């Protein structure tokens, strides 16, 4: 009998993705960012300095320091949140992770069991939806409007879960530059959400990975700062979008007692120390200027994509200008299933995210589409959107 390891795989594994053929000419998927604005020179100089000053510390796990992560980086995160988001954070309330995705996995591992109720925004990060589905939890989609989570519907879902005898474990929300809609939840809406949550034993998982790339409004305080319970909110941030995705440097902010429990689940012997050292060294002097420059570039790209979509699709599509970030969320007529066009688009070098994969209810999201404008050049945005419109032929 010929041995086949396939017979030994777990039954619940996702389908293999197949061979990767590289980034196509018109890639409007993923969280890739603007290549010209990766601060290569600054990161290179920072790497040289930290190697010379502290390189020998790499001989010891966690650089010989706290398992929470590199102290200089955690200190910078505390300063950044204070200055940019009016959020007070102590050093022992920050845990460095290997990108925000590890943060999601750690929090899910901390809180969730099969059959648990979870509330997420009806349009949300596709990677979170797939994770929750694999965990066997029951996912409820809370309605959104132009200000984010609707408090009235959130209250209904919280009551529904409580009446079932299984209160929702958490509300997962992306309040500042929501993914995929690009909205920013204003201060009063944040306070309304916290008021609705007040009578329920339900946590808030606040994902703020795009918040440093906000241009449409002043940045409100985080839910973590506004919460008066001190332990309801677990906050997740990242340098992937503000500096570079491939660095894989993210962080969780939570009460120190929560982080100590999470540390018992973080069995990777520490996130990559070199990345932490370089980011801390670079960001201490350059983060604000870099973030301002990158945000300006992305704002221009958003305007280019808006013009391209209007010119190419006309009245066949509706959308709101994002208030920051790298995504645009398009809505077509109800009889359109955007996934139907994915294969032909791929054959023509175009990739996009069909809306069903970014929606709790795939049927509700079928007529929607997420386009990323972070990585393509302005020329590629215009040409790619025009070519996609020709393939869809909705006029």
Contacts of 303 (CB under 8 A, 6+ apart): 321
Q: Are 258 and 119 in contact (CB under 8 A)?
A: no
Domains of the chain (ranges, CATH numbers)? 22-39+289-392 (3.90.1150.10), 41-286 (3.40.640.10)
pLDDT tens digits for range 329-357:
999 999 999 999 999 999 999 999 999 99
pLDDT of 12 higher than 90: no
CB under 8 A, 24+ apart: contacts of 309-312: 309/371, 309/385, 311/386, 312/385, 312/386, 312/388, 312/389, 312/390
| Cα-based distances in Å from 175 to 30, 118, 187, 295 | 19, 17, 10, 18
pLDDT at 395: 62
Q: What is residue 229's predicted lDDT score, i.e. its pLDDT?
A: 83
Spell out the residues 6+ positions from residue 21 whose beta carbon is closer than 8 angstroms to its own: none
As a whole number, mean pLDDT of residues 141-164 equals 97
Kindly indicate the confidence band of residue 6, based on its pLDDT and cuts at 50, 70 and 90: confident
pLDDT digit string (tens) for 15-35? 887 777 788 999 999 889 999
CA distances from 253 to 77, 305, 379 (A): 10, 34, 39
Q: Is the pLDDT of residue 14 over 90?
A: no
Instruction: State residue 330's pLDDT score.
Output: 98
Asked if pLDDT for residue 47 goes beyond 80, the answer is yes
Q: Tokens 């389908």 map to which residue? A: 15
Quick one: pLDDT at residue 294?
97
pLDDT for the residue 20: 75
Report how far residue 115's alpha carbon sits from residue 135's, in angstroms, rounded to the nearest whole number. Answer: 9
Given this model, what pLDDT does residue 46 score?
96
pLDDT at 281 over 90: yes
Cα gap 374→38, rounded to integer Å: 12
DSSP 355: G
- Integer angstrom CA distances of residue 136 from 114, 128, 131, 132: 5, 13, 9, 7
Q: What does the alpha-carbon distance between residue 69 and residue 274 come to, in Å, rounded to a whole number?
A: 11
- Both tokens of residue 317? 């599509």
Task: Note the pLDDT tens digit of each residue in 195-222.
Answer: 999 989 999 999 999 999 999 999 999 9
Average pLDDT of the chain? 95
Task: Supply 104's token pair.
Answer: 């999601």
Stated pTM of the model: 0.95
The two counts, helices (H) then strands (E), for the chain are: 12, 15
- What's the gap between Cα 255 and its chain centre? 21
């Amino acid at each position: 009998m010929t041995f086949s390891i396939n017979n030994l795989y777990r039954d619940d594994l996702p389908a293999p993705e197949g061979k990767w053929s590289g980034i196509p000419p018109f890639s409007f998927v993923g969280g890739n960012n603007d290549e010209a604005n990766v601060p290569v020179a600054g990161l290179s100089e920072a790497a040289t300095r930290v190697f010379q000053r502290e390189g020998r510390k790499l001989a010891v796990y966690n650089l010989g320091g706290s398992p929470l992560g590199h102290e200089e980086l955690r200190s910078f995160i505390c300063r950044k949140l204070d200055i940019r988001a009016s959020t007070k954070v102590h050093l022992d309330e920050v845990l460095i992770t290997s990108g925000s995705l590890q943060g999601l996995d750690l929090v899910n591992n901390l809180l969730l069991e099969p059959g648990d109720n979870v509330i997420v925004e009806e349009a949300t990060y596709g990677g979170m939806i797939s994770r929750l589905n694999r965990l066997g939890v029951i996912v409820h989609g809370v309605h959104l409007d132009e200000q984010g989570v609707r408090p009235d519907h959130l209250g209904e879902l919280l009551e529904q879960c409580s009446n079932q005898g299984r209160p929702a474990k958490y509300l997962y929300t992306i309040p500042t530059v929501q993914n995929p809609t690009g909205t920013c939840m204003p201060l009063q809406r944040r306070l309304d959400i916290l008021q609705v949550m007040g009578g329920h034993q339900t946590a808030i998982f606040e994902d703020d990975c795009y918040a440093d790339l906000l241009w449409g409004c002043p940045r409100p305080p985080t839910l973590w700062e506004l919460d008066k319970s001190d332990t309801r909110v677990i906050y997740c941030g990242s340098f992937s979008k503000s500096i570079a995705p491939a660095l894989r440097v993210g962080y969780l902010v939570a009460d120190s007692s929560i982080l100590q429990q999470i540390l018992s689940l973080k069995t990777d012997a520490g996130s990559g120390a070199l990345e932490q050292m370089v980011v801390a060294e670079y960001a201490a002097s350059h983060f604000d200027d870099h973030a301002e420059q990158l945000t300006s570039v992305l704002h221009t790209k958003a305007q280019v994509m808006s013009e391209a979509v209007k010119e190419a699709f006309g009245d066949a599509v509706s959308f709101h200008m994002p208030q920051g970030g790298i995504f645009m969320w398009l809505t077509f007529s109800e009889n359109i299933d955007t996934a139907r066009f994915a294969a032909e688009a791929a054959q023509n070098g175009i990739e996009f995210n069909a809306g069903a994969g970014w929606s709790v209810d795939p049927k509700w999201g079928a007529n929607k589409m997420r386009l990323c404008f972070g990585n393509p050049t302005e020329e590629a945005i215009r040409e790619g959107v025009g070519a996609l419109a020709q393939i869809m032929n909705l006029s």
